[in-house]
Amino acid sequence: MQSSESRKIPDGRPPHFDLIAGNVCLDFVNTLDDRHTKPKELLERYDDLVRFGEDAGLLGVEQAARLIKRTSQDPGRARESLRRARDLREAIHDIFWALINERPVPDTPLARLNADVQKASEHLRLVPNNGGFEWHFDALDNFDSLLWRIAGSAADLLVSDQLPFVRACSSKDCEWFFLDTSKNHHRRWCDMKRCGNRAKVRRFYARKKTA
Ligand SMILES: [Zn+2]
């Protein structure tokens, strides 16, 4: 896992988001902080979404700057796109939350994700690269282009063999999502510093009390 301190954004600024999940779509779910206790929206403005895209490596510096510029020119459409992004986020959350809790995946969020995956595929192009080919998205100045990438990340994870390793943090106040790529797949916390140590301290005092 990359620690947030060691990461640097190409333009040199420190990252805005705590990306601990090891997967773009799961980090995206975590942009509604403390979801089940005291929800805190980390995507308040379209600019926040752009910053997430930059932090997550979905956008380059120039692309991010162009999108931010377009936001000031067309704030209404940027707001609409932000609303769609949050809807997509909640759909991705609901799908993985059902899977984590071994419940059937509800139809509505799956239909929502499928709609975004279909939209994304309309913008996919094969581009030659080093004698081979790569998938690229066109229309990267489109406000929704970040949504295509995030929907694609969720779809890729759902069909991958990594799916059983999607977890929610064991702290009930937190429940951030992450992909458990640890060797024994026993990772419990989103981050040792954020939740693991807090839990250790609580256990320590609980033991002292009973002793
Ligand atoms: Zn946590």
User: What averages of pLDDT result for each successive group of 10 residues across the chain (211 residues)?
Assistant: 47 84 97 91 96 94 93 96 98 98 97 97 94 88 94 97 96 92 91 75 66 63
Supply the pLDDT for residue 196. Answer: 74
Q: How far is the CA of 78 from the centre of ligand 1 (A)?
A: 31
- Centre a 10 Å sphere on the Cβ of residue 17 and count the other Cβ atoms it contains: 18
Round to whole Å and give the CA distance between 184 and 167.
Answer: 14
Q: How far is the CA of 34 from the centre of ligand 1 (A)?
A: 9
Q: 174 is written with which tokens?
A: 């937190």
Q: Is the dihedral of CA 92, 94, 99, 101 positive or negative?
A: positive
119, 123, 112, 47: which is closest to 78 by C-alpha? 47
- Coil vs helix vs strand at 42: coil
Q: How far is the CA of 83 from the centre of ligand 1 (A)?
A: 26
Q: How far is the CA of 147 from the centre of ligand 1 (A)?
A: 25
15, 65, 9: which is closest to 42 by C-alpha? 15
Supply the pLDDT for residue 95. Answer: 98
Ramachandran region, residue 191 (left: φ > 0; alpha: ψ -120 to 50; beta: rest): beta
* Residue 88, C-beta contacts closer than 8 angstroms, at least 6 positions apart: 112, 113, 116, 147, 150, 151
Q: How far is the CA of 174 from the centre of ligand 1 (A)?
A: 5
Q: What predicted TM-score, i.e. pTM, was given to this entire model?
A: 0.88
Q: How far is the CA of 195 from the centre of ligand 1 (A)?
A: 5
Q: How far is the CA of 169 from the centre of ligand 1 (A)?
A: 5
Q: 176 is written with which tokens?
A: 């951030």
Read off the pLDDT of residues 56-85 as tens digits, 9 standing for 90 and up: 999 989 999 999 999 999 999 999 999 999
Supply the pLDDT for residue 191. Answer: 85
Supply the pLDDT for residue 6. Answer: 45
Q: How far is the CA of 11 from the centre of ligand 1 (A)?
A: 29
- Asked whether the beta carbons of 70 and 210 are under 8 A apart, the reply is no
Q: How far is the CA of 208 from the centre of ligand 1 (A)?
A: 24
Residues surrounding ion ligand 1 at CB below 5 Å: 169, 171, 174, 176, 190, 195
